[in-house]
Chain A
Amino acid sequence: MAASDRTVLQFGPSSAVTSNITAKVHPLVIFNISDCYVRRPDQAERVIGTLLGSVLPDGTVDIRNSYVVPHNEFSDQVALDIEYHHTMLKSHLKVNPQEVIVGWFSTGLGVTGGSALIHEFYCREVPNPVHLTVDTGFRNGEGTVKAYVSVNLSLGDRQLAAQFQEIPLDLRMIEAERVGFDILKSTSVDKLPSDLEGMEVLMERLLTLINDIYKYVDDTVEGHAVPDNSVGRILSETVASLPKLSPPAFDKLVNDSLQDQLLLLYLSSITRTQLSLAEKLNTAAQMP
């Protein structure tokens, strides 16, 4: 064969679209999937469902919500309850019309043959669906969460197959951080922490961090630790970012703020007194 007639099987990203896609998962999705997995019917090995979310302007797929879809899997056939899928989609769209289908999920490590069929179905609903796998079996000793998109393998002009290609997944759980990982991690928490307890923990943590930095700086100055330029630069930026106020100005600022707060405290105590007086009028006053 002449060299010019050779065709090459192309792997890897052939289009700019697939090479730039990243996915971002919100913690609610993981919670949903685990809950559905725990509640699955006895004969099902894995659960499958739809992912909802949106595509951000920079190309990231933001996966915000999910719901499970009942399905049946035989040796090489898959039956998906399409009507259920559409009903749930309609209901979810009623609440939040911005959350549209962005892909589908399944539990279990790796991608199976049945997945290709399901992926084809979702390709008909959305142009480029993302496939999320959540390993609930913890097969590698850790719960792996991976995201894939399908890439077409082509030989010259002919489409051969579709390949599941992994895309980078952003698993930063900012909302979970807001709630507090200690609440979400343990199997039972007896009481939601109050404001003051949270402040206490926070202050302790801050103090530990500051102590660590202090120790590091001391060690570096004395020569015990290896100096790292980037860390030093970050430290000097942090210290320089404190606003430059003269001590009297700073004093005044702090005092003013403190005075405002004390006044508010005083006002709220007066209001409470007023409330108890009002209560007397309401119930204790008697008719002649």
Chain B
Amino acid sequence: MARSFLQVAAAEEVAPPLRVVQIEGLVMLKIIKHCKEFSPALVTGQLLGLDVGSVLEVTNCFPFPIQEEDEEIEADGANYQLEMMRCLREVNVDNNTVGWYQSTMLGCFQTAELIETFLNYQENIRRCVCIIYDPSRSNQGALAFKALKLSDSFMDLYRSNNFTGEKLREKNLSWVDIFEEIPVKVSNSALISAFMTELEPDTPVTQRDYDRLQLSSSPFLERNMEFLIECMDDLSVEQQKVRASFSSIFYIHDPFCKLGFVVIFRDENKARKAAGEEPLPEEDPSNPIFKPIPEPPRLESFLIANRIANYCNQINGYVANLRSHIECIWPCV
């Protein structure tokens, strides 16, 4: 059915879902340089680029200076950002913010602050991504770039601020649904590809191969295990809270428990009558024993679950690598 121009113009644009993030080699090198220079401190920066259909192109980026938590310096930070964007505009660099990048230490980036930052960005930009780079894993030879965004269903739920079990069951949301990882594509201009082809050294073995072939695995694995154990502790704390809330509600509603309380109160009232005091009401809703502990929000436990899954994945991947090393060495003995 043919639509008139007015209808087409009036129809709301439906944004196609984001399928892939296209990064330029320049941006990758800049991010790597910035994160490596300041590691182990965690740093952030802004991503600039274009939003084209289902591809988000990231064509440039600039780092943020490390800020102390100070009121005056916040205005400085905003000034710095405006100045950088203005200067980059003058030399024809794409001026749209499409997200931000941050470095992480062994992958513990799933925090509530990340979600807050996402929502802040989402207010102004229709589509934004967060690129996470892990310099410690890259020292092992892998290229640890990840592009993340929050899933839509999670964002709706977060805005309504309702994280109880029932709501989550309704939406069928579990801890894997919070973050969506988007595949990353790399693109380079023809000029830089010509330069790199020429500047590539002739050696058959590169620095990356040396990194990969390292056999000393313990520091990396040890730190991973440490973080994993801490996360398990946090998870058990969260679960205790949920259990406490459940059991308190159970005690309120369970008829046998109620009967138990009523008997106790009757006895106490008899004692009071004997002493000549006023009897206590038998079912006093304002008595703190009867107040149920409200259900705690599950957000924190979901984030912890995400982190644990990440550590497990890293350990699995690393161990698989090591085993392939050892399989190679063994026949030589």
Contacts and interface: CB of A to CB of B under 8 A. Distances in A.
Interface stretch (A113-121, A135-143, A222-230): A135-143
A185 B196 contact: yes
Interface stretch (B5-13, B111-119, B266-274, B318-326): B318-326
A173 B169 contact: no
Contact of A282 (B189, B200, B301): B301
Contacts of A265: 315-316, 319
B32 interface: yes
B321 A30 contact: no
B241 to A, nearest CB: 11
A202 B207 CA distance: 12
Contact of A195 (B142, B315, B330): B142
Nearest to B36: A175
Contact of A91 (B26, B84, B250): B84
A146 B53 CA distance: 41
Tell me what chain A mostly uses at the interface: helix, strand, loop, or mixed.
helix
A143 B329 contact: no
B191 A37 contact: yes
Contact residue range for chain A?
Answer: 35 or more
B208 interface: yes
B84 A184 contact: no
Interface string A231-253: 00000000000000001001100
B25 A84 contact: no
Contacts of B200: 173, 181, 185
A283 B64 contact: no
Contacts of A55: none
A177 B316 CA distance: 26
Contacts of A188: 185-188
Contacts of A142: 198
Interface in A39-64: 39-41, 64
A186 B194 CA distance: 9
B328 interface: yes
B2 interface: no
Interface in B288-330: 295, 298, 301-302, 305, 308-309, 311-312, 315-317, 319-324, 326, 328-330
Contact of A95 (B64, B187, B192, B239): B64
A190 B84 contact: no
B25 A202 contact: no
Interface in A256-288: 257-258, 261, 264-265, 267-269, 271-272, 274-275, 278-279, 281-288
A143 B194 contact: yes
A202 B250 contact: no
9 contacts: A35-B192, A177-B207, A185-B197, A190-B185, A198-B142, A208-B204, A264-B319, A265-B316, A284-B169
Given A31-B29, A41-B92, A199-B324, 18 more contacts: A27-B29, A27-B199, A28-B30, A28-B33, A38-B191, A39-B91, A39-B93, A138-B194, A173-B201, A177-B206, A179-B29, A184-B193, A186-B193, A257-B326, A264-B221, A279-B174, A282-B298, A287-B165
